[in-house]
């Protein structure tokens, strides 16, 4: 009877095991599991900061385990339940992230992801199933309200004309405590718009005040008269060239643009009386006409050559060669100023930049750097030349141009430009999906910026200008991101000195969607009928044995 009871008990245990531990039916290949784990500590540079300040969040991984040494783990900075930064790591170490939060209270910790990988499941190569998402550490910090910051302040239109209404607009960060704003023109309080009735330059000031403090920002409003400056259409001197002792007559054609005025002539910067002058000495002279009306003055000049009788012509002498302005900004015109002694016969002046001929005596540079300018003065006796160095500075931050494009690559593919609102599907062979995003300077440079940021979903990543590479023959800035399954819209920003310009609006934006592949479902499971059958046989034999014993 004891043997029968034992057989029945073993059979029941086998039934329980066969039901509770089902078989897992694999697909067309076996599944390998990677065991990833890590732990460590976190710390922050401060427990309390003011709005607008940054805080450094540091994660130290002191224990790291990964049975698949070909794959890295993904470590995240999680603030108030949102991942604000992520890196791929392969061992212990310490990593820091600088975060600039707004007003409020924050709790953060370190999180990481592990993955189960398979070969070919369901006919798809490289399918991935996430199996672990864990965290460690926990710290809190607070961001106190502070005085407001005026991001931008301007008036439109600017310049304006007399009698025209100018509307003021601004972007203000109240830093956790809203307040009030006031406007003033040359120190006198005004409303949110103002009509300027007199031409001139005015200082318009915005003052923002909250419970913490106040700040002010000003701009210059230019008001022009409805009458514009006169335009000098032509100036002439007769005769030109002249012989020493000859009287030269000057004439000009002026468009007065709404209001007549006065005309005076200058010789080498000195005003003369009347419209003629007798040159008693040979030389090269600058004849300038200055026309003035109620809106202002305009001037124009020509060269007058005065020769001695029976002058022997020699090669010109370049007395001075300069440019204005120098240094000059990218996109701003610089004008070359040359003083030449023609030595008996006036000729021609031409200019070169880095050995290349240019048209006229002015030039606009499209790229910053140092350039060599050359002037060549030529008369019937020959040519003379002189050089100077021009320094071309980058555009100021407020004039950043739309100069580059965004590109993408993954799984070792060549980088390719992405088009706005297009969809790209990644067929990844490993997980996480590693995607490289580039900002490619294929139309110019952005050397006056410190970084470029991209926004993936609700997370912003910064591409420092130190991440320099070459893509499709151009300088490019690269960031590599691990993406989980899903669709993402990626937006790019140019950011000078970690502060978005244009009131936070992107200067260069490309929106495109990345469809990563959907994670696989767990392989189907069935009951372990073999174990169940054996358990049933044990119970039957036990019952039979008991009956025979009775």
| 315-335: pLDDT as tens digits | 999 999 999 999 998 878 899
- The residue written with tokens 């039916």 in the block is 25
Confidence of residue 127 (pLDDT cuts 50, 70, 90): very low
The answer to whether residue 470 scores a pLDDT higher than 90 is no
SS3 6: helix
CB contact set of 328 (below 8 Å; sequence gap of 6+): 334, 365, 390, 391, 392, 393
- Is pLDDT larger for residue 345 or for residue 132? 345
Residue 499: the pLDDT is 42
- Is pLDDT larger for residue 376 or for residue 534? 376
Length of the chain: 550
The per-residue pLDDT of the chain, averaged, comes to: 79
Beta-carbon-side half-sphere exposure of residue 37 (alpha carbons within 13 Å): 4
Contact 303, 338 (CB under 8 A): no
Residue 413: the pLDDT is 76
pLDDT of 354-377, one tens digit each? 999 999 999 988 788 899 999 999
9: DSSP letter? H
Helices of type H across 466-528? none
Q: Nearest Cα to 65, choosing from 39, 36, 34?
A: 36
- Report the C-alpha gap between 172 and 166 in whole angstroms: 20
Give the DSSP letter string of 204-236.
EEEEEE-SS-EEEEEEEEEEE-SSPPPEEEEEE
Residue 28: the pLDDT is 38
- Report the C-alpha gap between 285 and 495 in whole angstroms: 51
Tokens of 408: 């993408």
The model's pTM: 0.31
* Cis-peptide into 325, omega within 30 deg: yes
pLDDT of 289-322, one tens digit each? 999 987 889 999 999 999 987 667 899 999 999 9
Residue 29: the pLDDT is 38
Confidence of residue 171 (pLDDT cuts 50, 70, 90): very high
- Residue burial 117-140, b: 16+ Cβ < 10 Å; e: rest: bbeebeeeebbbbeeeeeebbeee
pLDDT of 16-64, one tens digit each? 666 665 544 433 334 445 567 888 999 998 888 887 789 999 999 999 8
Residue 123: the pLDDT is 36
- Report the pLDDT averaged over residues 429-446: 68
Pairing between strand 164-173 and 193-196?
antiparallel
pLDDT of 393-436, one tens digit each? 876 554 454 456 778 887 777 888 877 666 766 665 566 667 88
SS3 397: helix
The answer to whether residue 460 scores a pLDDT higher than 80 is no
Q: Nearest Cα to 388, choosing from 377, 369, 407, 374?
A: 374
CA distances from 249 to 116, 132, 275, 287, 301 (A): 94, 94, 6, 11, 14
Tokens of 473: 């023959």
Report CA dihedral (442, 443, 444, 445) to the nearest 10 degrees. Answer: -50
* Mean pLDDT comparison of 128-142, 439-453, 487-501, 524-538, highest-scoring range: 128-142
């Amino acid at each position: 009877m004891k043997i029968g009871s034992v057989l029945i008990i073993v059979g029941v245990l086998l039934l329980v095991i066969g039901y509770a531990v089902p078989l897992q039916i694999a697909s067309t290949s076996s599944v390998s599991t990677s065991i990833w784990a890590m732990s460590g500590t976190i710390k922050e540079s401060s427990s309390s900061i003011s709005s607008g300040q940054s805080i450094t969040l540091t994660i130290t991984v002191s224990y790291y385990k990964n049975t698949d040494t070909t794959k890295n783990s993904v470590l995240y900075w999680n603030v108030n339940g949102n991942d604000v930064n992520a890196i791929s790591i392969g061992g212990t170490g310490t990593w820091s992230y600088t975060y600039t939060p707004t007003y409020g209270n924050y709790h953060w910790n370190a999180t990481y992801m592990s993955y189960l990988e398979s070969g070919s499941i369901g006919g798809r190569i490289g399918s991935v199933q996430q199996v672990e998402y864990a965290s460690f550490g926990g710290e809190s910090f607070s961001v106190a309200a502070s005085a407001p910051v005026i991001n931008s302040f301007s008036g439109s239109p600017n310049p304006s004309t007399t009698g025209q209404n100018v509307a003021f607009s601004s972007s203000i960060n109240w830093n956790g405590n809203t307040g009030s704003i006031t406007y003033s023109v040359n120190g006198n309080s005004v409303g949110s718009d103002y009509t300027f009735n007199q031409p001139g330059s005015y200082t318009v000031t915005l003052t923002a005040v909250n419970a913490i403090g106040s700040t002010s920002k000003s701009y210059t409003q230019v008001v022009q008269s409805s009458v514009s400056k006169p335009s000098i259409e032509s100036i002439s001197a007769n005769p030109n060239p002249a012989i020493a002792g000859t009287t030269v007559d000057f004439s000009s054609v002026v468009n007065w643009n709404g209001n007549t005025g006065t005309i005076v002539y200058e010789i080498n910067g000195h005003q003369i009386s009347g419209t003629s002058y007798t040159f008693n000495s040979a030389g090269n002279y600058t004849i300038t006409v200055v026309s003035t009306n109620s809106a202002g003055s305009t001037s124009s000049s020509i060269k007058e050559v005065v020769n001695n009788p029976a002058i022997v012509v020699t090669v010109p002498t370049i007395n001075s060669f300069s440019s204005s302005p120098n240094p000059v900004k990218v996109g701003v015109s610089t004008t070359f100023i040359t003083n030449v002694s023609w030595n008996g016969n006036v000729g021609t002046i031409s200019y070169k930049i880095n050995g290349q001929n240019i048209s006229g005596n002015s030039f606009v540079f499209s790229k910053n750097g140092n350039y060599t300018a050359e002037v060549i003065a030529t008369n019937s006796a020959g040519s003379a030349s002189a050089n100077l160095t021009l320094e071309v500075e980058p555009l100021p931050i407020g004039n950043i141009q739309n100069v580059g494009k965004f590109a993408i690559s993954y799984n070792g593919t060549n980088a390719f430009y992405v088009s706005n609102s297009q969809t790209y599907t990644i067929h990844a062979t490993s997980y996480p999906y590693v995607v490289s995003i580039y900002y490619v300077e294929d139309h110019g440079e952005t050397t006056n910026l410190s970084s470029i940021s991209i926004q993936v979903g609700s997370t912003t990543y910064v591409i420092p200008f130190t991440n320099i590479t070459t893509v499709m023959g151009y300088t490019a800035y690269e960031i590599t991101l691990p993406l989980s399954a899903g669709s993402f819209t990626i937006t790019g920003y140019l950011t000078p000195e970690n502060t978005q310009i244009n009131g936070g609006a992107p200067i260069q934006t490309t929106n495109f969607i990345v469809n990563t592949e959907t994670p696989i479902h767990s392989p189907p499971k069935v009951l372990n009928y073999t174990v169940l059958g054996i358990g049933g046989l044990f119970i039957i034999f036990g019952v039979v044995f008991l009956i025979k014993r009775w």
